[in-house]
Amino acid sequence: MRRRTLLAAVPAAAVSVAATPSLAAAAPAPTRLTLPAPTGPEAIGTASMHLIDPSRPDPWVPGRRTRELMVQVWYPACDVRGRVRAPWVSPALAAALAPPGSTYTLPVTHAYLGAPAAAGRRPVVVYSPGLGVERTAGTAVVEELASHGYVVVTIDHTHDSSLVEFPGGRTEARAVPEPTDPDGAEPIIAEALRTRVADTRFVLDRLLFLAHGRNPDAERAPLPAGLPGALDLARVGMFGHSLGGATAAEMMYEDRRVRAGANLDGTESGAVLDGGLDRPFLLFGAGDADGPDDDPTWARLWSRLRGPRLRLQLLRAGHLSFTDYQALFPQAGVPAEQLEPSFGTIDPRRSVAAQRAYLLAYFDRYLRGRPSRLLERPSPRYPEIRFVA
């Protein structure tokens, strides 16, 4: 199946702030939406940071002389007593997604705000969401990795995400232009990819700053105790959904600090298509039970992967099955027939369980050196997964 990169390629009501009216109309009664609980043994802490890159202007808003980002760090915590669980999204985004009078409330995460980090250096995994989507869209998988001992850093690509909230309540809306015709999408995607790679490289630079005991937050907001000592930046991985997956591949091509990467159902783009990679890479896409995996950009990249490579299909899934929305929309009462074009027919619980299992096994293998039979052959525990190659 052909993958998508632009948010405009999928129903707007499925993923963005525009989803609010359809959700509100669909939910039959007040409902507290919930995220799947992580399965790992570690408690999770989380903290957000405001980062400013003075070396480059914002590419999407003329006159902005610096590039600003919001990132969120998820990590194993040693003590969560007296801490509150973090909301799924920022207050401004929550107000847009669930305005007063809504018949549902948004979930809270399983991570505790500002909890002190557990002792020991942990592998670091970076997450990049799809174009037009927020850093919170992959929380179910992000929390799973953190609960199994990873530090995960999620990035809001400002003016690419639908809405980013900065300290003090300032918000920045999406400013990436909509293409007026199919040919107009290519230069927009190319610029978005370049920007995202630059964002990610800057984030890794700031994490090194943090690991050395310095505070990279623009407001110097207090950071969780022990967090600098938790970062093992010699073991860095990256994954992303849609354009975030393409960002992971291009980031690996341009920056050798990333040792292993994964693309969740994103059309590939950029110089990596010709240059390839010599380090582990996972292509993990949605697929029909009987249909071929025929994305030409995946075939092209696959032939240029010189390191360990793996290609999986999540059967009966859709492009947005690799987001939290797959678990949340059914709870809100959205009819299955409305969800099927973007989410397929896979049971959301099985989809989350399969993604978590394979991504954890993958990063365990290549960042921790822990072999896993799960990556070698099909497993009866996960019949939703097809090994393509």
pLDDT digits (tens, 9 = 90+) for 258-279: 999 999 999 999 999 999 999 9
- Count Cβ atoms below 10 Å from residue 3 Cβ, excluding itself: 23
Two structure tokens written together for 300: 């092209």
pLDDT band at 141 (very low <50, low <70, confident <90, very high): very high
Q: Is residue 66 part of a domain?
A: yes
Q: What pLDDT score was predicted for residue 24?
A: 44
Two structure tokens written together for 149: 């001992």
Q: What is the DSSP letter of 131?
A: T
pLDDT band at 290 (very low <50, low <70, confident <90, very high): low
How many angstroms separate the CA atoms of 277 and 275, rounded?
7
Q: What pLDDT score was predicted for residue 29?
A: 53
Q: Is residue 135 part of a domain?
A: yes
Q: Is residue 239 part of a domain?
A: yes
Q: What pLDDT score was predicted for residue 102?
A: 83
How many angstroms separate the CA atoms of 4 and 186, rounded?
12
Domains of the chain: total: 1
Q: Is residue 1 part of a domain?
A: no
Q: Is 17 helix (H, G, I), strand (E, B) or coil?
A: helix
- Which residues span the domain enclosing 213? 7-387
How many angstroms separate the CA atoms of 276 and 220, rounded?
39
Q: What pLDDT score was predicted for residue 251?
A: 98
Instruction: Write the CATH number for 48.
Output: 3.40.50.1820
Select from 29, 124, 21, 127 the least CA-distant residue to 71.
127
- pLDDT of 128 > 70? The answer is yes
Q: What pLDDT score was predicted for residue 389?
A: 78
Kindly report the backbone phi and psi dihedral angles of residue 32, in degrees, each rounded to the nearest multiple of 5, phi listed first: -90, 110
How many angstroms separate the CA atoms of 264 and 253, rounded?
17
- pLDDT of 69 > 90? The answer is yes
Report the range of poorest mean pLDDT among 25-39, 111-125, 183-197.
25-39
How many angstroms separate the CA atoms of 106 and 87, rounded?
8
Q: Is residue 217 part of a domain?
A: yes
CA distances from 308 to 22, 41, 182, 260, 262 (A): 43, 29, 34, 9, 12
Q: Is residue 2 part of a domain?
A: no
What is the chain's mean pLDDT, rounded?
Answer: 92
- Higher pLDDT: 217 or 5? It is 217
